[in-house]
Amino acid sequence: MGSIKGFMQHERETPISRPIDKRLQDHLEVYDPLSEEKYMEQGARCMDCGVPFCQSDKGCPLGNMIPDWNDMVYQGKWEEALTLLLKTNNFPEFTGRICPAPCEGSCVLGINELPVSICKIEEAIAEKGFDKGFIKANQPKHRTGKKIAIVGSGPAGLACADQLNQAGHSVTVYEKSDRVGGLLMYGIPGFKLDKKVVKRRVKLMEDEGVTFITSVNIGVDILLKKLVDDFDAVVLCGGSEKPRDLPIEGRDLDGVHYAMEFLPQQNKRNEGDVVSREVAIVAKDKNVLIIGGGDTGSDCLGTSLRQGAENVYQFELLPKPPGERKPTNPWPQWPMIMRVSSSHQEAKSEIRQFSVSTKKFSGVEGKLNKVHASQVKFGDPDPETGRAPLIEVPGSEFELDVDLVLLAMGFVHPVHEGMISEIGVKLDDRGNVWCDEDKMTSIDGVFVAGDMARGQSLVVWAIAEGREAARGVDKYLMNTTVLPHSQFLK
């Protein structure tokens, strides 16, 4: 540890966001990076706490060796920091930008100070690696002759492909969209993750020998059975794409859409594509209601503001989180507290309304123009289940004039139609694809990783899942493996 008193000498700093009036005019990333010296100061805040909970099962799912590379950054040893970081994380340039940082939630310094800015240090290490040429194409020295097909090019699929390719196998990744990246390309807005960052990594993987085939929907355009017959192993990384619906009166009105119908269209426009007027979903000059208070809802907000929405409202079914941890939510658990995203900073005022239940939509001639809602509260817990029911508050009904509703309530499980139903893999009780401890499904030689197996989760968990599936595939094909085990997967 280089700076014994670093956490006493330096305050937490993170990259400064661009002025709101300027960033609302584009879809570029919100933040400008800090100087190299500032990142070194932030690395010095890591306090050599003895038991680094940041890399425990309460912190980073990848087991990133955070205190070590924090210290290396403090000392200006950027290449050494990168080498250590890449041992556990294939894509720190992604996680450093979009991970909600469970590592920071379990940082020991965070008990009574602001935690170390781990996530942005991670991003800085990755960007230094690209800028200085430390990250470059590294083709495997030997090929095993084994062929693996990966279905889906999101973070799980990319991580699995990267690991298997480096192990010497020949990897082909199939993607149903016209560009590689899955949710990294079409789910996350450009103001959070510039798509040049995604394409840079994909190009590097291509240079290393990974083959990508786009615009092919496995189970529709090509049967999954053909991949099973043609390849030595197949890995399903199709994500959890069945959205949670809101089956209430008026759901079928024109103007009510899933968030993931709305967000990809803007990413396509940013890439220069033309979205036809017949299917275009645009917030310009409209009163927009977002239902759901998570990251996807925040992404819908930032995108709606950039498109020129007249007003934006946001409903969250649960109560407003506290400003600080409750005694029932102690460190090192993930802090369930009120957060303000960059998109919420861009709104003219606090747009979120908590403890709101949407009752119905109404409209004229099939077109949405109003939402009907009410306040709710938790009742007494059920003595058997412990669950507290949500009860409508009498007399709290209200209406809003809205032209566009975006449902951002999460996802329930993978889409079962297509390749899952075709091959008949076993599902778990939540509708996800079942797998054993090596990530193999109920079909021999067919593996699964990411949200398709775990359910809707974080990018960092998807990377961990992809790495673990790669280990299982390598072990299956070679009867042994040197690929690392993702110790926190359950």
Q: Model confidence over 221-266: pLDDT tens digits?
A: 999 999 999 999 999 999 999 999 999 999 999 999 999 999 999 9
Claim to verify: residue 87 and residue 124 sit in the same structural domain: yes
Claim to verify: residue 122 and residue 186 sit in the same structural domain: no
Q: Is residue 483 part of a domain?
A: no
Claim to verify: residue 253 and residue 230 sit in the same structural domain: no
**Of 172, 197, 174, nearest to 91 (Cα)?**
197
For residue range 175-190, what is the model confidence (pLDDT) as tens digits? 999 999 999 999 999 9
Q: Residue 308 has which token pair? A: 């020129």
Claim to verify: residue 81 and residue 171 sit in the same structural domain: no
Residue with token string 């979009």: 98
In order, the DSSP letters of 424-476 are T--B-TTSSBP--TTSB-SSTTEEE-THHHH-S--HHHHHHHHHHHHHHHHHH
Claim to verify: residue 158 and residue 99 sit in the same structural domain: no
User: Which of the four pLDDT bands, split at 50, 70 and 90, describes residue 386?
Assistant: confident
For residue range 456-482, what is the model confidence (pLDDT) as tens digits? 999 999 999 999 999 999 999 999 999
Q: Is residue 283 part of a domain?
A: yes
Q: Is the dihedral of CA 398, 401, 406, 412 positive or negative?
A: positive
Q: Single out the residue in 101, 131, 161 at which a domain terminates.
A: 131
Contact 439, 469 (CB under 8 A): yes
Contact 353, 316 (CB under 8 A): yes
Contact 242, 432 (CB under 8 A): no
Q: Is residue 371 part of a domain?
A: yes
Claim to verify: residue 387 and residue 418 sit in the same structural domain: no
Claim to verify: residue 263 and residue 360 sit in the same structural domain: yes
- The domain total for the chain is 3
CA 3 to chain centre: 33
Claim to verify: residue 232 and residue 263 sit in the same structural domain: no
Q: Single out the residue in 409, 433, 459 at which a domain terminates.
A: 409
Q: Is residue 139 part of a domain?
A: no
pLDDT at 490: 60
Domain residues for 307? 245-409
Q: What is the CATH number of the domain that holds 405?
A: 3.50.50.60
Q: Is residue 188 part of a domain?
A: yes
Claim to verify: residue 265 and residue 401 sit in the same structural domain: yes
Q: Is residue 361 part of a domain?
A: yes
Claim to verify: residue 190 and residue 294 sit in the same structural domain: no
For residue range 408-439, what is the model confidence (pLDDT) as tens digits? 999 999 999 999 999 999 999 999 999 999 99
